[in-house]
Structure 1
């Protein structure tokens, strides 16, 4: 730890997953100066993944999903400022200004401002019963309002929409998913996997409508039905909209480079001196491209890595393999790596058995990403193979008798053996 302790603190804007883990990492790395963690939310930091699953179902309480207590943050001498909205920063003066004109001085600044939900702007979108799920308050409202409601419409078949459909089916509700694209998740996982997840929802009794979109909600004060472009009428007493997110880049500066998210280098540095960014709000370099990841694992690891770089010394490159998971019905879904385009896909296992690994390979036969369905035993091996970036024989990957743990790169040779 090389950062000289000064009267000015390290300020972290955003008390979500990335911000909390960054603050803790600073202390764990031996930083003795002030740490100020600011958030516009009034809730203590909490974990978001359970909101669409265990919390909605009432299996976990608010206390269960709390990230850290006031006592634990106080013990680490982390100054938590809730309900404070930072509206501007000045990198030259090293200050952040709140909506109440409070001025926070800083020695170094970390932006972990997260992301915001895309809103659906159609006629009737202001009716009661139309919900979005991002915050604990959102989840509490949905859990309360959906008690006793039988018909639920979900707009968007992404991971949040899919998880909510699974949760609501467990409660015995009639669920309709409305998706603009031809297949759920196909833009991420490909058409074959999109078809698999379509059939998964249908097999669980969810009504899935694709290649259509909501144009209007009807009702007096409470939503009663959704109308679509193709003339469908979907009866519903509640609607959950999940159509993606937008990184929060409201803190602007003419010299702060933004392209969807705050652009950072491999060390988490923005284009402004002494200003860093991590987590959902950042665009970071991954294998020759700048990418944006909105998942728990990335927020934790990016926050920790960038926090270490705040302290000076030899900078540490962020090289983590992207990873996320989703629980739907009886499926544990895990995805490793990142790719927008792949040249071939290889299946190991049987989709009918709901237990398989699906590999995404580039033209050189290198695994860029992999989808695991109910095969957590393959997780470590898959992560290792993606990290090694060596060509792998497709026949080897597709062979169900091959244990991926035993697939390895031969020393000094550019190939993989078993």
Structure 2
């Protein structure tokens, strides 16, 4: 593809931004590409930080997305350790934190998200960690030999994966969650109960419906105090209580609702300004949604990059997907739903291999959770993408292929 676009500036060198920059070259962009990030590390892959990297099964080199040589070959001007302070949408310029002003023809925001912090007494003690960056992971790994007991605050996917990793490392793990069940706000109570029992069966002390109110210790954390009066001894605390999309780059014409609002092509409310990945709210099946995962970041970044070059626009219609590896479980979630009408189990939970479907009132599958069933990934993705009603009574029957569970009108 040929393009008249000269300079494209990408803010954020994470998964979305790095893959978008690469996609621009693949799609034929010959102009300048400036990739900016506040981090000082070469672009790297974040999902392994809580799993393979934490376990020592992968190195910093293994998780690097682009080397200096690759970036030079792709003619990508990488600026690390700087951020954008402001943009002028009329002049199409961006002011960087080091004082430089960069002119752009198209601007792509892939600013990702930041971790929510826990501002309680003792939060400044040594040994209290958050896991977002490679530097965070390095800091935790350096202390592993000194840690026997670890408290993990938050039983979301990062907290759950870290619980799994620390158990594999032989540590005593306490998992604290203020909700009644882990992940129930995404997966429902039945699956929340399943994952609670999964962690408990692996030896994790999983405490639900309790919150941390204080960290105790002289200079280093020694114990966690909870609202219900529990005292949990530990030599390290990992806090994982959610994220906030990075939308610090503001403009009175830039629409924001949790993240930068974009249309199906990745366009924001400002001309020639786009957004992709964790920082964006994008349309899926009639609703603006926000997804924080590797698969979405890659696909959205590539799609928006292509649309930035002009020509025929391509709607982003990829079915949302994320996965999580915990113990000997591969968990895969497809789709997006908050208000499902019914759920259907296909398979046996005791076998550690099953599929769990979330249906709306029209018997359309809006989302599905696969546990150790990667073979069902493709047909499930197709069913969600087609948005065709299914026969709920057929779904539990594993002798019937998934594609044969769709409702067929009589002639």
Instruction: Please report how far the alpha carbon of residue 101 of structure 1 lies from its aligned counterpart in structure 2 after TM superposition.
Output: 1.4
Match of 1:129 in 2: 127
Tell me, yes or no, if structure 1 residue 11 matches structure 2 residue 9: yes
Q: How many residues align?
A: 410
Match of 1:234 in 2: 232
Instruction: Please report how far the alpha carbon of residue 3 of structure 1 lies from its aligned counterpart in structure 2 after TM superposition.
Output: 3.0
Instruction: Judge conservation of contact 2:155–2:176 (CA < 8 Å) in 1.
Output: yes
Instruction: Judge conservation of contact 1:279–1:302 (CA < 8 Å) in 2.
Output: yes
Match of 1:120 in 2: 118
CA–CA distance in structure 1, aligned partners of residues 192 and 356 of structure 2: 12
Match of 1:105 in 2: 103
CA–CA distance in structure 2, aligned partners of residues 84 and 168 of structure 1: 34
User: Aligned match of 1:168 in 166, 169, 183?
Assistant: 166
| Paired residues for 1:335-354 under 5 Å | 335-354=333-352
Tell me, yes or no, if structure 1 residue 407 matches structure 2 residue 390: no
SS at match of 1:154: strand
SS at match of 1:251: coil
| Paired residues for 1:227-376 under 5 Å | 227-376=225-374
CA–CA distance in structure 2, aligned partners of residues 218 and 104 of structure 1: 47
CA–CA distance in structure 2, aligned partners of residues 375 and 147 of structure 1: 36
SS at match of 1:352: helix
User: Relative to structure 2, which stretch is displaced further, 365-374 or 74-83?
Assistant: 74-83
Instruction: Judge conservation of contact 1:155–1:239 (CA < 8 Å) in 2.
Output: yes
Instruction: Please report how far the alpha carbon of residue 99 of structure 1 lies from its aligned counterpart in structure 2 after TM superposition.
Output: 1.4
What is the CA deviation profile of residues 12-71 of structure 1, one whole-angstrom value per residue up to 9, with x for unaligned ones? 010000001111111101111111111110000000110000000111000011111110
SS at match of 1:290: strand
User: Relative to structure 2, which stretch is displaced further, 85-94 or 201-210?
Assistant: 85-94
SS at match of 1:407: helix
CA–CA distance in structure 2, aligned partners of residues 160 and 185 of structure 1: 11
CA–CA distance in structure 2, aligned partners of residues 113 and 285 of structure 1: 19
Instruction: Please report how far the alpha carbon of residue 315 of structure 1 lies from its aligned counterpart in structure 2 after TM superposition.
Output: 1.2
SS at match of 2:61: coil
CA–CA distance in structure 1, aligned partners of residues 46 and 119 of structure 2: 25
Q: Which runs of 5+ in 2 are unaligned?
A: none
CA–CA distance in structure 1, aligned partners of residues 38 and 91 of structure 2: 22
Tell me, yes or no, if structure 1 residue 141 matches structure 2 residue 142: no
Q: Which runs of 5+ in 1 are unaligned?
A: none
What is the CA deviation profile of residues 208-233 of structure 1, one whole-angstrom value per residue up to 9, with x for unaligned ones? 11111000000000000000111110
CA–CA distance in structure 2, aligned partners of residues 127 and 162 of structure 1: 23
Tell me, yes or no, if structure 1 residue 64 matches structure 2 residue 62: yes
CA–CA distance in structure 1, aligned partners of residues 294 and 321 of structure 2: 9
Query: Aligned pair in 2 of structure 1 residues 188, 378: CA closer, same or farther (>3 Å)?
Result: same
CA–CA distance in structure 1, aligned partners of residues 309 and 96 of structure 2: 25
TM-score normalised by structure 2 residue count:
0.98
CA–CA distance in structure 2, aligned partners of residues 360 and 343 of structure 1: 7
Instruction: Please report how far the alpha carbon of residue 403 of structure 1 lies from its aligned counterpart in structure 2 after TM superposition.
Output: 2.8
| Paired residues for 1:74-85 under 5 Å | 74-85=72-83
Instruction: Judge conservation of contact 1:2–1:313 (CA < 8 Å) in 2.
Output: no
Tell me, yes or no, if structure 1 residue 39 matches structure 2 residue 30: no
CA–CA distance in structure 1, aligned partners of residues 37 and 224 of structure 2: 35
Instruction: Please report how far the alpha carbon of residue 400 of structure 1 lies from its aligned counterpart in structure 2 after TM superposition.
Output: 2.0
CA–CA distance in structure 1, aligned partners of residues 51 and 200 of structure 2: 19
User: Aligned match of 1:23 in 21, 24, 28?
Assistant: 21
CA–CA distance in structure 2, aligned partners of residues 314 and 340 of structure 1: 33
CA–CA distance in structure 2, aligned partners of residues 401 and 235 of structure 1: 50
Instruction: Judge conservation of contact 2:391–2:406 (CA < 8 Å) in 1.
Output: no
Instruction: Judge conservation of contact 1:16–1:114 (CA < 8 Å) in 2.
Output: yes
CA–CA distance in structure 1, aligned partners of residues 250 and 79 of structure 2: 21
